[in-house]
Structure 1
Amino acid sequence: MFLAAGAVFLERRLQHYPAWKYTTLIALIGSGLVLLPIGLPILPIKSLIRYSNTIYRPPTLSKFAQDNSAQAPWHFRLMLGWEDTVAQVAQAYQKLLPRDRAECAILAWSYDNAGAIDFFGPAYHLPKAISGRTGYYFWGSRDYSGNVVLSLGGNLTFLRQTFNSVETVVIVTHEKIVGLRSTLAIYLCKGIKRPLSESWPAFKYYFKQPTTNLITTDQP
């Protein structure tokens, strides 16, 4: 809102001064081009690290990084390994029986993995992801029954309280920052205890993944 209000404020004043108007436009375009590699993933990872250290060094949001200058900016680091994760999810998805695959939902417990499924998934013939994380929650369960779910991560206690069967099908590993590998378990969950449309509120979270399904356990 402040950006929009500022744009209207400047537009009304600069329209009477053509020289300043074009100077401002050139400055905006120039700064946009300089910062473009920081906003869009257009550089190889090594070039991106050098560029970000020279132009813009954002916070890493990682207590594990020993040398921040050796790391990619945090918003790009979340994307590392995305397509490989989607490829491994697709392998697990294609191994399902046709009747299971037809009703299988892909549940992502982080919005970065949900975004990866939605972005790369069509090339692997995957449906769109569902997720209870932040804004993804409001897109709902996309009318899935919940009888067959591939869960990308998630708390095992919560999953076992929600489904009759929970089986680990693959462990995905990636190096998100130098010297530290992240792991992501993909679970095949079957036989939801209450329809997904009814239990969906239990999947909603913002900061900490739910560890107890209060809907299926009937706890107050």
Structure 2
Amino acid sequence: MERGWPTWVLLHGIAKSNKNVVLSPWEFFSQQITLMNPAISPLCFGRLIWLLVSHEGRRYRVIAFTYLTAFTEFVVMHGKNYYLAPAYPMLFAAGGVAFERIFALRMRWLKPAIAFLVVASAAVFAPVVLPILSPEKLLAYMRAIHFEAPRTETSHTAALPQLFADQFGWEEMVRSVARVYASMPANEQKLAAIFCQNYGEAGAIDFFGPKYGLPPALSGHQNYFYWGPGNYAGEIMIVLDDDATDEREQFRSVEDLGMVESSPWAMPWEQRLHIFVCRDLKIPLRELWPKVRVWL
């Protein structure tokens, strides 16, 4: 609670932006069926109804209200379809209990049939949610089963579903930054901060960076903003961005050292990043820091 209500702040910012695909209640609901495995959805939503209307389920009705409250919040505030995923284990548990009670004394033959259906459905969808196939084979498989992953962001134009596209290009990007950092004199390296536009880029620097001798990243995106600028003063900053409009307003010197290396399977905007070496920040970094906050 020290930082307020971060999920609410995130959704409020998204609702005012054009970042996420806006889904109707029915579209959001139908995508929940796809996300959880269509074979399991009757068990899950059947138990939701049981929790709401049955006398026996009254004791656990708060589970249903919690789910419906979160569902409504994400629809109204344009949340992504997978934001609701953490709510399903409690519905799965409730559905599992109901399943056992229904088939304990009658129609026992349905138990292995339903189990087979669930496993078979999971096997069909596994390649589109787990990194089992190469990108080329994954796209061919999706065409073969006539499956198209729902878009969650309006700017998503990658060939792969964003779930997979967001896993490509990171180490190539970090190597590009490392080459720039290594080319600096030792005295400049001690002063140089690496600033990224989002937590994906910053996380890649923090994950792969130690192998290449890079310092931790800075960013104004979500939790990175709260971690602040550290001891950096802004004398020298290596900035990842797709253009230098903001940087030229903030620094007295901006040098474009070209685009990062990436993967053809990465998200398009990550492939378009340039590396800017910025020197002589016009105002103290701590004074600038509140202005770099991004909560989308």
* 1:39-78 → structure 2 map (5 Å cutoff): 39-55=129-145, 56-59=147-150, 71-78=159-166
Counterpart position of 2:182: 94
Flag as ranges the 4+ runs of structure 1 deviating above 4 A. 14-34, 60-65
RMSD of aligned alpha carbons: 3.7
- Higher radius of gyration, 1 or 2: 2
Which stretch has the larger CA shift, 195-204 or 71-80? 71-80
Residues 144/34 of structure 1: CA separation in 2 closer, same or farther (3 Å cut)? farther
Which stretch has the larger CA shift, 111-120 or 182-191? 111-120
Which stretch has the larger CA shift, 140-149 or 183-192? 140-149
Is the aligned partner of 1:157 residue 2:248? no
* 1:15-34 → structure 2 map (5 Å cutoff): 34=124
Question: Is contact 1:117-1:126 (8 Å) kept?
Answer: yes
CA distance in structure 2 between the partners assigned to 1:152 and 1:76 by the alignment:
22
Is the aligned partner of 1:191 residue 2:276? no
Question: Is contact 1:176-1:182 (8 Å) kept?
Answer: no
- Percent of aligned positions that are identical: 30
Q: Structure 2: which 5+ runs fail to align?
A: 1-85
CA drift at 1:107 = 1.0
CA drift at 1:187 = 0.4
CA distance in structure 2 between the partners assigned to 1:195 and 1:87 by the alignment:
29
Counterpart position of 1:2: 87
Cα displacement string for residues 49-89 of structure 1 (whole angstroms, at most 9, x for unaligned residues):
22333454214567796xx9xx2223322443322221111
Q: Structure 1: which 5+ runs fail to align?
A: 208-220
CA drift at 1:92 = 0.4
CA distance in structure 1 between the partners assigned to 2:286 and 2:118 by the alignment:
47
Q: What secondary structure sits across from 2:273 in the alignment?
A: strand
TM-score normalised to structure 2 length: 0.54
* Higher percent of residues as strand: 1
CA drift at 1:39 = 3.2
* 1:121-132 → structure 2 map (5 Å cutoff): 121-132=209-220
TM-score normalised to structure 1 length: 0.70
